[in-house]
């Protein structure tokens, strides 16, 4: 369990509400709904598009994502609209804007969402290159796995990676997921990692 501890009672209700309800004012960012020692997660909003575009324009960041090429702005805008819409469709799940708690700097995003074509819930992340190698991926993924089991009551969480993405595979194992070989997700043959809720 992370230093942040589990969300409970009224705090959990407030957290879920914060996922879909930004503050008043078009440019006001929602309050963080989940925090670890060093990371704050909040709901995405339309104004985050430039940062998301910058993230997905970095060839180092997207090397093991999809076709390995930076996504066009139009595709990112569609993806962001879907992320925002899904907060209401799938309460408790989503993709969340991640910042450093000490500086407020954007470091990328973390996600807990259904992994097509299955009903499995996937933990994942995408971080800015400047945030690599600092333990943020492990810290965020570990907390979302805890949240999935302790707060959402999920029975299983998976993670999938490109076969050559050994760094992310180590992150998933540090977050408590075990190597289960191969699976077919997103139309691709990927490395599969999974964890069951502790008994």
* Structure token digits, residue 39: 């990371």
| DSSP state letter for 179 | E
Q: Residue 65's closest CA among 124, 121, 141, 135?
A: 124
Give residue 92's region: left, alpha or beta (phi > 0; psi -120 to 50): left
Cα 122 to Cα 53: distance, rounded to the nearest angstrom? 23
Give pLDDT tens digits for 35-61.
999 999 999 999 999 999 999 999 999
Residue 102 · residue 38 · CB < 8 Å: yes
Instruction: Please tell me whether the overall predicted TM-score, pTM, comes out greater than 0.75 for this model.
Output: yes
The band of 68, judged by pLDDT with boundaries at 50, 70 and 90, is confident
Model pLDDT, residue 14: 39
Which is more confident, 35 or 4?
35
Q: In the structure, what pLDDT confidence band is assigned to residue 116 with cuts at 50, 70 and 90?
A: confident
Q: Which CATH class is domain 9-196?
A: alpha beta
């Amino acid at each position: 369990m992370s230093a942040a501890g589990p969300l409970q009672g009224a705090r959990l209700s407030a957290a879920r509400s914060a996922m879909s309800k930004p503050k008043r004012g078009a440019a006001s960012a929602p309050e963080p709904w989940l925090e670890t020692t060093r990371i704050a997660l909040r709901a995405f909003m339309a104004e985050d598009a430039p940062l998301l575009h910058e993230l997905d324009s970095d060839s180092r960041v997207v090397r093991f994502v999809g076709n390995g090429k930076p996504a066009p702005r139009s595709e990112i805008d569609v993806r962001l609209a879907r992320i925002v819409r899904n907060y209401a469709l799938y309460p408790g799940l989503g993709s969340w804007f991640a910042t450093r708690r000490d500086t407020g700097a954007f470091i990328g995003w973390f996600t807990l969402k259904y992994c097509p074509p299955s009903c499995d819930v996937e933990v994942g992340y995408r971080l800015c290159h400047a945030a690599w190698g600092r333990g943020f991926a492990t810290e965020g993924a570990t907390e979302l796995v805890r949240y999935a089991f302790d707060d959402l009551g999920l029975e299983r969480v998976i993670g999938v990676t490109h076969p050559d993405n050994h760094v992310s595979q180590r992150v998933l194992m540090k977050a408590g997921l075990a190597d289960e070989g191969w699976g077919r997700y997103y139309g691709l043959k990927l490395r599969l990692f999974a964890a069951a809720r502790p008994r």
